Structure 1
Amino acid sequence: MSAFLPHLRTGWHVDQAILSEDDRLVVIRFGRDSDPACMLMDELLFKISGPVSQFAVIYLCDIDKVPDFNEMYELYDPMTVMFFYRNKHMMCDFGTGNNNKLNFVVSSKQELIDIIETIYRGAIKGKGLVVSPRDYGKVRKS
């Protein structure tokens, strides 16, 4: 599914994506296109790209091809999703202790839409940190 979403091929492209949106949330999935977690998240992101297009734009960035932000954003996980609004990094409390980024695959399209919409609504209200609609800090039982 990563072939269907726009890729940011250089650090300049990442910067321009973040800088160029005035009214929508910029969602960037950082990771490796071939990683299983990235493939799952890319599929979800592709499926929701239409429904969220009025308030969010989604990009992908391969951290091996564009290592410019790996240290700055602490991109050590196999898959990371970050959110930006009007050139500002948006943080979200998922209950995991890491408010800077989403570094796990959510279980459904609606769940991901709810997260993106919550962050967008917080962003337009001027909040730098929003609380996720669900607490992901609790261990899920199989």
Structure 2
Amino acid sequence: MSFVLTTLTKKQEVDSIIRDTIDKVLVLRFGRSSDSVCLQLDDILCKSVREVSKFATVALVDIDSEDIQVYVKYFDVTLIPSTIFFFNAHHMKMDSGSADHSKWVGAFHRKQDFIDVVEAIFRGAMKGKQIVSCPLPPERIPKFQLLYKDL
């Protein structure tokens, strides 16, 4: 399913997409295509990409790529999948009740949840905010301790 989305394996590709995505939310899914939770998330991203295309761009980042490790370290991607949001080259943060506002860890429960989150980030960014509140109810926000990954 993930062949529909661009997969980035080089730091330069990530740099350019962050720099060149203007007036849209950039959604970067850090993970690996062999991971079952990543595949679940990728399925949701693929099904949503058309609906969010007016205000968002979605790409996958292969965390096993040697060239990407600078981003993996910078964003402290220890759990996968981790989804990181940008707007006009600025890292957008989301308060979803966890200690880490820098990324979304885990998959979304359903397509509409992903669309709601991206829309909230877009609206916040258009108002000049760098951090937005998560629009989802707490029971639909993945909890870190539920995720056990072989890292």
TM-score normalised by the chain length of structure 1 = 0.93
Distance 1:11 1:89 in 2: 16
Higher relative helix content: 2
**In structure 2, what is the equivalent of residue 73 of structure 1?**
75
Work out whether 1:46 is the aligned partner of 2:51.
no
Distance 2:92 2:26 in 1: 10
**In structure 2, what is the equivalent of residue 98 of structure 1?**
100
CA-CA distance at 1:136 after TM superposition? 3.1
Q: CA RMSD in A?
A: 1.6
**In structure 2, what is the equivalent of residue 85 of structure 1?**
87
Which structure 1 residue ranges, 5 or more long, are not aligned?
Answer: none
**In structure 2, what is the equivalent of residue 2 of structure 1?**
2
Secondary structure of 2:102's match? coil
Check the 8 A contact 1:49/1:58 in 2, yes or no. Answer: yes
**In structure 2, what is the equivalent of residue 56 of structure 1?**
56
More displaced stretch, 33-42 vs 61-70: 61-70
Q: Structure 1 segments of 4 or more deviating over 2 A?
A: 135-140
Question: Where do residues 106-125 of structure 1 align in structure 2 (5 Å cutoff)?
Answer: 106-125=108-127
Distance 1:117 1:139 in 2: 16
How many aligned positions are there?
140
Amino acid at match of 2:112: Q
More displaced stretch, 82-91 vs 131-140: 131-140
Which structure 2 residue ranges, 5 or more long, are not aligned?
Answer: 143-151
Work out whether 1:12 is the aligned partner of 2:7.
no
- For the structure 1 residues 33 and 98, does the alpha-carbon distance in structure 2 shift closer, same or farther, using more than 3 Å as the test? same
Amino acid at match of 2:116: D
CA-CA distance at 1:32 after TM superposition? 1.0
Percent identical pairs in the alignment equals 34
Amino acid at match of 1:69: Y
Distance 1:99 1:26 in 2: 16
Amino acid at match of 1:130: V
CA-CA distance at 1:134 after TM superposition? 1.7
TM-score normalised by the chain length of structure 2 = 0.88
CA-CA distance at 1:138 after TM superposition? 8.2
